[in-house]
Amino acid sequence: MEHRSAQAKQELILQEFLEKHHFDPPAAILPQLRIVTQKERDTLLKKGDPIHAVYIILEGQYTVSEAWSNGAIFIFTELGPGDFICEMECYQGAQAVQYNLICKSDSLLLAVPVEGFLAWQAVDPGLCQMLIQSLIRKLGSSARTASQMPIAPGIVKFARFLIGYCRENGIDSRQEVSVRMTREDLSYNLGLSVRTINRLVQSLRERNALTVRSGKIHITADQLPLLRSILPDSDPSR
């Protein structure tokens, strides 16, 4: 009973999406369409995964990223409702994903098998129009990202984050601030791998710029100037 209810809900979401955009997929493709739900931080695809479908984001946000050899996680762009995933690879005949796709907020997607997608876009001008709009957004986002290079070293990025965290949690009115975030939380917020976070924590600990007790990071008012000394002189976060 519960399974039928969930299926009926997905069918309703699909119907409303198609009607809203006046899409008219070929009848043979309709049974192939499926709704995918994901939670924040779920991985939709990771680098090297085979490409079986093209996805259209109905709700939510995704980050497109890659883990670099130095431990940094570089975010190329962010995708939202109306954007497509794997459509370019589909046109190019690529067999595997070349990046990681992480769900940034609870999301709904429409999954279309590759061959079904190619058949649908060949006969539906509305779908092609949405594709063009998505591509324009991606190109603009990629250009903005490229203009932000080079990326700050990990230790500068981490120090800047910790200084901001102390400021937000009232370091001026207390002697110590406890960072109530796991290493996974820090990794997610900073775009650095957990391994890199652990290495940076150890490095700052050796400089006496922070203290670790029971696995938690603590920063005193006396340690804050040591964190600030890591930042470039022109850094507005000082």
pLDDT per residue over 180-190, tens digit each? 999 998 988 88
Q: Is the pLDDT of residue 68 over 90?
A: no
Q: Are residues 96 and 184 in the same domain?
A: no
Q: Are residues 106 and 33 in the same domain?
A: yes
Please give the Cα distance from 166 to 227 (Å, whole number): 11
Q: Is the pLDDT of residue 103 over 60?
A: yes
Verdict on whether the full-model pTM lies above 0.85: no
Q: Where are the beta strands (DSSP E) in 60-202?
A: 62-67, 73-79, 84-85, 100-103, 107-113, 176-179
Domain that holds residue 35: 2-147
Task: Tell which of 94, 123, 147 closes a domain.
Answer: 147
Q: Is the pLDDT of residue 4 over 60?
A: yes
| 104 within 8 A of 62, measured Cβ to Cβ | yes
Please give the Cα distance from 177 to 115 (Å, whole number): 55
**Listing from the earlier edge strand, what are the strands of the sheet with 216-220?**
176-179, 216-220, 211-213
Is the four-CA dihedral 193, 197, 202, 206 of positive or negative sign?
positive
The predicted model gives 25-42 an average pLDDT of 94
Q: What is the CATH number of the domain that holds 21?
A: 2.60.120.10
pLDDT tens, residue by residue, 108-158? 999 999 999 999 999 999 999 999 999 998 888 766 665 554 445 788 889
Q: Is residue 162 part of a domain?
A: yes
Q: Are residues 82 and 136 in the same domain?
A: yes
Q: What is the CATH number of the domain that holds 201?
A: 1.10.10.10
Q: Are residues 182 and 115 in the same domain?
A: no
Q: Is residue 233 part of a domain?
A: no
Peptide bond into 150 cis (omega under 30): yes
Task: Tell which of 147, 169, 199 closes a domain.
Answer: 147
